[in-house]
């Protein structure tokens, strides 16, 4: 089984970069099995297509316009994902539905796809997340880890992995 976790977004537009910030935090705080790839997808759009090929499951983390209050986190799965991206937040989301369509045409759509999104508060220029979205980061990561657990992926916090390593040394 091969799994890709794609963090999408523009880190120069405040909350719009939540997917990339989440990927970086996951890389810093957790150990993943070798069959799980964490990818900073930034604003790559169609250039992300190769990351779909050869993966059984793909999890996308992104800022999504749910038309709800800032900080709301929701999960969209499978064929429902492109519909939620029709209400574009930024330029990168123009390429994401196209990429999903191209993956389907090429026959490289993963067996399972999941989008874990958070309603942004600010899309203003700036490299920091808004206070509201930053306060929801741990909850967002918990949802990602829960989905991975549902997919049978064991993720280990780095602190525990480091303690276990010290015990065996």
High-pLDDT (> 90) share of the chain, %: 60
Beta bridge partners of 4: 37, 58
Report field, pTM of the whole predicted structure over 0.75: yes
Rounded (10°) angle between helices 18-29 and 137-150: 70
In angstroms, the CA 114 to CA 15 distance is 20
pLDDT bucket at 72, cuts 50 / 70 / 90: very high
Minimum mean pLDDT range among 98-102, 131-135, 140-144, 156-160: 98-102
| pLDDT tens track for 119-148 | 999 989 999 999 999 999 999 999 999 999
Instruction: Tell me which residue range forms the domain holding 64.
Output: 3-168
| For range 54-64, the mean pLDDT | 93
pLDDT bucket at 154, cuts 50 / 70 / 90: very high
Residue 79: partners with Cβ closer than 8 Å, 6 or more residues away: none
Question: What is residue 167's predicted lDDT score, i.e. its pLDDT?
Answer: 65
Minimum mean pLDDT range among 39-43, 113-117, 123-127: 39-43
Tokens encoding 82: 């492109």
- In the predicted model, is pLDDT for residue 112 greater than 90? yes
Question: What is residue 92's predicted lDDT score, i.e. its pLDDT?
Answer: 47
**CATH number of the domain residue 114 falls in:** 3.40.50.1450
Per the structure, the count of domains in the chain is: 1
Average pLDDT, the chain: 87
């Amino acid at each position: 089984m091969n799994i890709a976790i794609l963090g999408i977004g523009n880190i120069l537009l405040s909350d719009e970069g939540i997917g990339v910030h989440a990927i970086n935090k996951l890389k810093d705080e957790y150990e993943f099995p070798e069959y799980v790839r964490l990818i900073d997808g930034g604003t790559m759009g169609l250039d992300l297509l190769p990351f779909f090929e050869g993966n059984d499951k793909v999890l996308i983390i992104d800022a999504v316009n749910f038309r709800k209050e800032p900080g709301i986190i929701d999960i969209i799965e499978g064929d429902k994902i492109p519909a939620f991206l029709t209400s574009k937040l930024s330029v990168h989301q123009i390429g994401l539905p196209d990429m999903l369509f191209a993956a389907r045409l090429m026959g490289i759509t993963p067996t399972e796809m999941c989008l874990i999104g958070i309603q942004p508060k600010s899309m203003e220029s700036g490299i920091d997340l808004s206070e509201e979205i930053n306060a929801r980061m741990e909850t967002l990561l918990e949802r990602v880890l829960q989905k991975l657990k549902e997919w049978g992926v064991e993720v280990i916090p780095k602190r525990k992995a480091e303690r276990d390593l010290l015990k065996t040394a």
